[in-house]
Structures are given as C-alpha cells and as structure tokens.
Structure 1
Amino acid sequence: MKPLERYSKLVIPQKLGELEAPGASVAEIRGYFEGLVRDLLSPEGRQGCLLVNTAIEKAAEDDEAAAVVRGHLARLERCMTHALENALRRGEVRDSLDAGGSAKLLVATCQGLMVVGKANPDEAVLRAIVEGAFAALS
C-alpha cells in the first residue's frame, strides 16, 4: 500500500488545494468540483483517481486499502464540513443547512462524479451533476 499512501500524501493535497485553507467556503468547494470536471475531460483524468479506483477494485477485500481510502474520504469530508460551516457563518448557503450531512452528500457526489466521468466524460453530464449538488446548498 506504499504507492497508495504516497499518492494520498503527494497528489491529494494538490487536488484539495484551497479547500484545505482555514477560510475555505463555497467558492473553494466549487473550485474542487471544477478541478474534478477539468480532470475528467482530459485523457489522463479519465484514468481516474487512484483512491477511487482502489475503493472500487480493492477496498472490499483488502483492509489496508480500505483504511487508506477511508482516511482520504474522512479528510475530504472534514474539508467540506469546515467550508460549509464557514459558508453558514457568511450567509452563503441556506440557514437550515446541516454542514455535516451536506458534506457527506458532497463527498459522495464527487466520488460518484469521478465514476461517471470514467464511463461518460460528457461535459454537460458532469456539469449537471455538479450543479445538482450545489442546488442542494441553496
């Protein structure tokens, strides 16, 4: 699992980018999703995220792989939750938004987006998925 751990330490921080910043909010969440769409529209990006591919192919039978994937998903969820809490304080999302629950939905959406993008890298489809996720925040 060394390659997966290395990917998690070197590649994932680049992908998360400003979403990990203390002041992250809706704009940074959108930036993260835009980065996913951009990646999925490229030939290299269609190969997918190593963590998503591992989750699909190995996590059910390999406890070590599953632990690394769970760690990444938890990190992404913490980033999303923090950004949504900031957005709530700033009035960028509806007042009744459950930051933790919405973060879980966003994490599931971005993972699903990457799976859909491997099979159907149609920009209109990918953007519709993203817009649906953001509509749930309003």
Structure 2
Amino acid sequence: MARLKAFDEDQALDSAVDCFWARGYEASSVRDLAEAMGIGSASFYNAYGDKRELFRRSLERYANRSMRERIARIEARHAPKQAIEAFLAEIIERSVKDPDCKGCLLVNSALDVATRDAELGRLVAGYLDEIRAFFRRNLEAAARQAQVPADIDPATISAHLLGVVLGIRVLARTGAKRRVLDSVAQPALALLEMAP
C-alpha cells in the first residue's frame, strides 16, 4: 500500500510557484523551495525528484490557475472582440496593482530559463502559444461576426497581440505606470477597429 503524502500538495505547489515567481528558477535553491513549501528535503525529493521537475509542475499549476482560468472566464463572459480587449485590460490592471512588480511567471521564465534549457523553453513557448491561440480564435470569430475589419489577418494579429502582452509584462516589471502600459496596448487595439 502506497504511503500517503504528509503534506498538502496543492498548498505546497502554490508555495513553489510563489518562490519561483519571486526569485526565478536559477535563484531558487532546493533548500529555498522546501522551506517555502514547508517540507523537508527527503519529502521534496520523494515527491518531485528534483528542482526541474518541480518547476515543470509549478508552471503547469500557474498556467491552470492564472492564464487558462483567465482565458476561460473572459471567453465565457464576452463577445470575441471584447474578449481580446478584456484580456489586455486585465493584464494591465494586474500589472499596475502588483506592488512587487513580479510580472508573469511564464514571461519571466521565457527570459530566465528558456534560453538555457531547450526543453523548458519549448514548455514555456507552448504556454505562451495558448495565449496566441486565444487571440487567433477570437479574431477569427470576430471576423465572422463582422466585429473587426474583414481583411484582418488573424495569424499575424494574434502573434502581434502576444508580443504586446509580453511587452506589457516586461515593462510592468520595471514599474511602468498605467499610461505607459495603455500606450503599448492602444495601437494594437486600434487594429481591431472597423474603418469609418
């Protein structure tokens, strides 16, 4: 009979996410992580194997609880064009209300880890591609509903919008104010407007 874990794995993963998010992958030692998670090193290695595996699981948890939750909630509540606008507005709102200027764990990881670890880089790129796919899906739906210009190229504009999100999140880490973040988003949103 398998032994039950002596800790709450959801809570432990949330703590690992917070640690990686605050310190980054490289600067988070196994000791830092185990301490943040409230577990001993033996439990750490038994449950996760190593820091890299814990990081993979932390990214998945973050993606589920942040990015995927946001996409599902916004798509359920808004028409396609408004979903894109709401997504960017929420990213800006979260950025300006973050007193620690942590940015986004996925974007931070793209800058911190992806260049040194090809496998983790592909993992992070896959998560970011889900955001691009959200934009494309909603651009295509908005075009079918005549909410955006008929000649809009969903593939190109969705990639552009992903770049805007990345730019906003990186600028937010430097403490950029709302007006700066809004000025990054506005030209992209203007592409969605119908010609007079």
TM-score by length of 2: 0.65
Aligned to 1:48: 103
Aligned to 1:123: 178
Letter in 2 for 1:5: E
Aligned to 1:111: 166
How many pairs were matched up?
138
Aligned to 2:6: none
* 8 A Cα contact 1:19 1:83, kept in partner: no
In 2, distance between residues paired with 1:62 and 1:94? Answer: 40
Give 5+ residue unaligned stretches, structure 1. Answer: none
Aligned to 2:152: 97
Query: Greater relative contact order (Cα 8 A, min sep 6): structure 1 or 2?
Result: 1
Summarize deviations over 1:71-113 as a string: whole Å, max 9, x none. Answer: 1122111111110011111111111100111101001111111
Determine helix, strand or coil for the equivalent of 2:63.
Answer: helix
Letter in 2 for 1:125: V
**Backbone CA RMSD of aligned residues:** 1.9
Identity among equivalent positions (%) equals 26
Moved over 4 A (4+): none
Give 5+ residue unaligned stretches, structure 2. Answer: 1-55
Aligned to 1:34: 89
Determine helix, strand or coil for the equivalent of 1:11.
Answer: helix
In 1, distance between residues paired with 2:182 and 2:72? Answer: 20
TM-score by length of 1: 0.89
Q: Which of 1 and 2 has greater Rg?
A: 2
